[in-house]
Structure 1
Amino acid sequence: MGLFGFGNNASKVNEGGFMDAIRCDEPSYLIWKWRPAGQEANTTKKENAIRYGSTVRVKDGEVAVFVYNQKDGTQQDFIEGPFDKKIETANFPVLASIVGLAFGGASPFQAEVYYINLAGIIQIKFAIPYFDVFDPRQPDLGVPVAVRGTMSFKIADYREFIKLHRLVNFDLDAFQKQIKDACVKYVKDTVINIVDNIPLVQIEKKIMAVSDAIEERLKKRLQSEFGVVVSSVDIATIEVDKTSDAYVTLKSVTQDIQIQFTKTQANVNLDTMKAQSAVNIQNMQDMQRINAENMEESLRIQREEAQRAQKLQTEGANFMAHQLNQQTKVALAGTDALGQLGANGGMNMGGNGAFNPGAMMASMAVGGAVGQNMAGMMNNMMGGIQGVPGMTPNMAPPPPPMPPQIQFNVVVNGQSAGPFDMNALQQMIAAGTLTKDTLVWKVGMPAWAAASTVPELASLFTPAVPPVPPVPGNPGVPPVPPSL
């Protein structure tokens, strides 16, 4: 014979009333107590007891709580939805432990059944009449403020909820009143304290900030005190009594403070603008000075480079004349040596008129060399004079003009270097120091330019084309390329 079966005790099936279907058909509820049809709640009649084999139905989003009042305390079985089965030992572990075999599977057992709605959300509208709120800038002025809104909550942890509330004769209206009273208390306290961060005259414009602050506070309080979870707090209006004397006084004081603040801020902004303008002017003057110094230095370098180039060109033009002067000095020195020889008695025969053959030979060698040099120079000069139209042998020929020396300054590591002649530039190209993109400049150019764009240097970067070997038997004709 099973605990909840009938077996041989089928004759006792009528004992204790009919079978029941335990379920909740209420359309809207938070806590609902089940009882057999036609019976009052909390009756002690045996017919109101629950029989073994009764069907329990629990919808999704709700939980059924079977409460057993025992001598050692209250115990509960929790059936979470969805559930639709007969009462069995496996589903009611507490019931299986307290009901013995003495009933024979036919006697009913005593239990209270409560349905808790976990999916339903309860809304409570609240309206808090005028209460005084004090602005921290004027703590003696209490301004009347009223608040209206809606709070939504639900039961999430039903076990915690049952610990905080007695389910027997649960009155939803009384429970909502408790929630509402707590909500009003915390809303008032939040509004009073939030004006420390929000000016009271602007609180009507800060409904969202006030709602968020109230919701955060209510969630913690109501969950710990009532076991419910706050879904949302929506403040509809925050109304300040603008007809009160306190509000008029506060508004006037606030306007004066705002005007003074605006003036102060304007002065601060003006001082900031002046300071910024002074800094900008100083920066501009510094930049102009630096640019002028850089320009002066660049012009000085260009002048020195131009003077140096001109000096080199002049020295090259006067080189021939300088060489002629040096040779003339050598000839004059030789002549002077011959004169000294004659002054000393001509062919000195040695001491006391003795013949000195070494001195004579030296004098003759010097004279011969000088004479030869002078003859060569005179021949060259005469040949140059005869080749110049309008020149006579008695006229000194002008030195031939020197070819112009092309020299460039080169930018190396961000600095100007040079000037360099063409030979030096070719060596720099071979060493990789001078490339096509290197900036160069010479006297007469308006600005620096890439080396490949300067006509005098462009050819230096063109690789030499190797000569094509002639085809045997047909000189001058390049070989035919192999067929592809």
Structure 2
Amino acid sequence: MGIFDEIKKKLSHEFIDIIEWLDNTNDTIVHRFERYQNEIKNGAQLVVREGQMAVFINEGQLADVFSPGTYTLNTQNLPILATLKGWKYGFNSPFKAEVYFVNTRLFTDEKWGTKNPVTLNDDRFGFVEVRAFGTYAFKIEDAGMFIKDVVGTDSHFTNYEINEHLKSLISTRFTDTIGEANLPIELYAANTNELSDTCLEVMKPEFSSVGISLEKFFIENVSMPEELKKEIFEYSRLNKLDLDKLTKFKAAKAIEVAAANESGAAGAGMGMGMGFAMAQQMGGMFNQQTQTTTQAAGNGAMPPPLPTQTQYFYAVNGQQAGPVTYEALSGLFAAKTIAADTLVWKQGMANWSALSSVPELQSLLGSVPPPLPNN
């Protein structure tokens, strides 16, 4: 082989390009293969590795898309680009086109969360606010669509750039989904798996519309204000505890807290007022029992049966509660669980009436002292 043949062979090898992308990052989704003036030689080698797609763009128009493999670029494997360029019988080297490599691997452990509280309308607790956060996983499903609709001319498109858009989309669809679920508020935290599956199905079409496949979606936590948590816990216990015993316990605790409050005269006065109310009720019951026993002993006869206590129903948060005895109702009033305008009913009453309008209950109103006069 002569020297000119060697030079010719060497020059022919120099004209053959190798187009490939070795990803050394963890967050790159799209990388544009940079060439001088975007020139590609006839017969160039295109290497697309596993977890990649290669997309050719001609003057802003989507052309050919290549899956993993090694290709020799010519008119046979560039049919769309050949049509756009008007190549009928082959093309002259070099030609211009932009080549984008798209990372199609699974991007996992992506974080999402509600930026603002989500307002829900619960039948028992009214309007409540909840927050939620979790993780999701996605991958590029349609590389051409993704570049055309999302990436545009960005030469180095990262995970961070798409995440902001995806998190906003997730937050919006999550809000709609839990609002339409219409579950009791305490069940949201207990049914995160079911809600996660539902949200995944709702959000998949939104992701697919821009060439992304939402593979996994998890709700890790649904949180609510501490005050609401306490109400929910107390409400759940009401279904398992004896209401009469519970109200007596709450009344006793309220008296204990008020009596121990040394922050001012108002707290002491309230504690004394509730203490006097309970003392009067207990004293009246003791006196009545003593008189009955004395009369029975004087007459030498057995005492009559104890009178049946009146049972009262009352309304709290639009729900009927009870029945409870007068003493239990007094304890509820002292603990401020009910008030003077609370609706009550007993057997014999035609309609529900405010507590303050029932004659035998008006004595409860005096169990709380009036405000101290101004000096």
| Range class of TM-score, shorter chain | 0.5 to 0.7
**CA displacement at 1:51 relative to structure 2:** 2.0
Residue of structure 1 equivalent to 2:207:
222
- Which structure's relative contact order is higher, taking Cα pairs within 8 Å and 6+ residues apart? 2
Q: 1:104 to 1:141 in 2, by over 3 A?
A: closer
Q: 1:96 to 1:210 in 2, by over 3 A?
A: closer
**CA displacement at 1:255 relative to structure 2:** 4.8
- Percent of pairs with identical residues: 21
TM-score, normalised to structure 1's length? 0.42
Aligned AA for 1:49? E
Aligned counterparts of 1:30 and 1:128: Cα–Cα separation in 2: 25
Q: Secondary structure at the match of 2:206?
A: helix
**CA displacement at 1:32 relative to structure 2:** 1.7
Q: Which of 140, 147, 155 is matched with 1:155 structurally?
A: 140
Residue of structure 2 equivalent to 1:188:
175
Q: 1:35 to 1:234 in 2, by over 3 A?
A: same
Contact residue 111 and residue 134 of structure 2 kept, 8 A: yes
CA offsets 1:104-126 (integer angstroms, 9 cap, x no match): 834x2111001122333354211
Verify: 1:91 aligned to 2:109, yes or no: no
Contact residue 129 and residue 147 of structure 1 kept, 8 A: no
**CA displacement at 1:228 relative to structure 2:** 1.1
Residue of structure 2 equivalent to 1:236:
220
Contact residue 204 and residue 240 of structure 1 kept, 8 A: no
Aligned counterparts of 1:68 and 1:208: Cα–Cα separation in 2: 46
Q: 1:134 to 1:104 in 2, by over 3 A?
A: closer
CA offsets 1:254-298 (integer angstroms, 9 cap, x no match): 55567699xxxxxxxxxxxxxxxxxxxxxxxxxxxxxxxxxxxxx
> What are the residue-to-residue correspondences of 1:353-372 with 2, within 5 Å?
none
Verify: 1:21 aligned to 2:18, yes or no: yes
Aligned counterparts of 2:242 and 2:144: Cα–Cα separation in 1: 59
Structure 1, unmatched stretches of 5+, are: 1-9, 37-44, 262-484
Q: 1:31 to 1:192 in 2, by over 3 A?
A: same
Residue of structure 2 equivalent to 1:205:
190
**CA displacement at 1:178 relative to structure 2:** 0.6
CA offsets 1:164-196 (integer angstroms, 9 cap, x no match): 3344216332222111111122223323333x2
Q: Which of 144, 149, 157 is matched with 1:164 structurally?
A: 149
CA offsets 1:54-86 (integer angstroms, 9 cap, x no match): 2111123422111111xxx7240122222x232
Q: Which of 53, 69, 77 is matched with 1:63 structurally?
A: 53
> What are the residue-to-residue correspondences of 1:64-463 with 2, within 5 Å?
64-69=54-59, 74-82=61-69, 84-97=70-83, 98=85, 105-106=92-93, 108-129=94-115, 131-138=117-124, 140-142=126-128, 144-169=129-154, 171-172=157-158, 173-194=160-181, 196-197=182-183, 199-224=184-209, 226-242=210-226, 244=227, 246-249=228-231, 251-253=233-235, 255-256=237-238
Q: Secondary structure at the match of 2:96?
A: coil
Q: Secondary structure at the match of 2:120?
A: strand
Residue of structure 2 equivalent to 1:32:
31
Aligned counterparts of 1:118 and 1:176: Cα–Cα separation in 2: 15
Q: Secondary structure at the match of 2:63?
A: strand
Aligned counterparts of 1:212 and 1:117: Cα–Cα separation in 2: 26
Q: Which has the larger radius of gyration?
A: 1
Q: 1:102 to 1:178 in 2, by over 3 A?
A: same
Structure 2, unmatched stretches of 5+, are: 1-7, 244-375
Contact residue 32 and residue 114 of structure 1 kept, 8 A: yes
Contact residue 30 and residue 120 of structure 1 kept, 8 A: no
The number of residue pairs the alignment matches comes to 229
Aligned AA for 1:141? F
Aligned counterparts of 1:104 and 1:232: Cα–Cα separation in 2: 45
Contact residue 137 and residue 217 of structure 2 kept, 8 A: yes
Contact residue 136 and residue 218 of structure 2 kept, 8 A: yes
Structure 1 or 2: larger strand share? 2
Contact residue 203 and residue 238 of structure 1 kept, 8 A: yes
- The CA RMSD over aligned residues, in Å, is 3.4
